[in-house]
Amino acid sequence: MLRITRGEDSKLTGWYFEIDRKLLGMILLLVCVGAIMMVTAGAAQAAHMRPPQPWFHFIVKAIPAYIVGLGCLFGFSMLNKKQIIKLSVLGALFGVFGLFITVVHPVIMKGSARWAHIGGFGFMPADVLKPSFIILTAWFLDKMRKAFGDNIFLNKQAWKLKWLSWWPYIISFGICAFIIFKHPDIGTAALYVAVLFAMLLVAGFPLKLLPGVGVLVGIMAVAALSTAHVRERAMDMFSVKPLTQVWYSLNSIRHGGLLGSGEEAYVKDVLPESTNDFVYSAIAEDWGALVACGLIVVLFALFSILINHAIHAKDRFVVYAVSGAAALFAGQICFNLMTALHLIINKGMTLPFISYGGVSFVSFCVLFGMILALIREDIWNK
């Protein structure tokens, strides 16, 4: 049997013993759950496509994303802090360029212009930006603290118009968030704002400024409700219309019962987006409430590992980056599950590492590869 020992001097063995294998293992477990759902839920969804597709349609389409994503997960986890920051800058430039394309050459899909097309390849810039947003925001907060001390929010010097101050960041973030909001992709815009606020709280955001945050949230809510489709979806919260996505989702969960329907599962056959936005409903119908709740436990356990690393990290940059990744991970899970359970207005958002969606899957692999690398360096190279 091949056995790796700590005494072997190589980058691979060093990586193997220094990486958080529990965190990596839980990520791979979620990927395996997603792959299974590409076969079970994907087979039913493919059969109802026009024209009908073979049962392996979605798993075959997902293979390139799995290869690229897992390659990024392992590859990025071997990098160091400086390399991660440089790659995040490149990722941010590409993502912002994608957002610019959605403005000058919008491609409307499902009522939204959030897709950019370059050379026949379609992607959502808002998903591409997520890893870079977390890493560069953490870098910015760390630089601000080193330049202006602990009180970076009320220090007058931090608000002067210069390259290292609040204004360049606020303007850059505001423009990107506004473009995403106007696609319209209000859920993703709200997710970005929520994650930023979580990172600011970790950086010591003064509680006396919370009323200002409340005003900002109120303005966003009014702006969102000014659009017809958001008003319509908000009204749908008061009832469940038959034969809608949420109606199928809730019935799929009910039909699963406690132990699942197995081969007798049939609601997911007509459940829209059963491999993507409503994959949790398909899991509940196939395997039952016990497994569905067990999945939530796994997701929470992964989140708690991230929080534990953020609490004990020695480098402030790592504290901010891991906290941001935890907030993004938890926020997207909440959006997905609450949509499936009809607890918020219907907002399509993938379940990290599980839902079908190439760019979203790769983006989370890139982000968690970076986080694994930062955690490893913080623990072993200090």
pLDDT at 2 > cutoff 50 = no
* CA nearest to 347, candidates 253, 201, 233, 210: 233
pLDDT tens digit sequence for 42-74: 777 777 777 877 877 788 888 888 999 999 999
In a domain, residue 17? The reply is no
In a domain, residue 14? The reply is no
Residues 6+ apart with CB under 8 A from 202: 310, 319, 320, 323
Domain that holds residue 114: 22-380
pLDDT at 365 > cutoff 50 = yes
Of 9 and 138, more confident: 138
In a domain, residue 266? The reply is yes
pLDDT tens digit sequence for 275-301: 778 888 888 888 888 999 999 999 999
Q: State the chain's mean pLDDT as an integer.
A: 85
Both structure tokens of 228: 């017809």
pLDDT tens digit sequence for 320-357: 999 999 999 999 999 889 888 877 777 778 889 998 77
Residue 376: per-residue pLDDT:
93
In a domain, residue 10? The reply is no
How many structural domains is the chain composed of? 1
pLDDT tens digit sequence for 151-160: 888 888 888 8
Coil, helix or strand at residue 56 = coil
In a domain, residue 16? The reply is no
Summarize the confidence of residues 118-132 as an average pLDDT.
Answer: 85
Among the residue ranges 190-199, 200-209, 216-225, 364-373, the one predicted with the least confidence is: 216-225
pLDDT at 191 > cutoff 50 = yes
In a domain, residue 11? The reply is no
Summarize the confidence of residues 22-49 as an average pLDDT.
Answer: 86
Summarize the confidence of residues 21-41 as an average pLDDT.
Answer: 90
Residue 255: per-residue pLDDT:
81
* CA nearest to 205, candidates 163, 158, 160, 164: 158
Report how far residue 125's alpha carbon sits from residue 344's, in angstroms, rounded to the nearest whole number: 24
Report how far residue 27's alpha carbon sits from residue 74's, in angstroms, rounded to the nearest whole number: 11
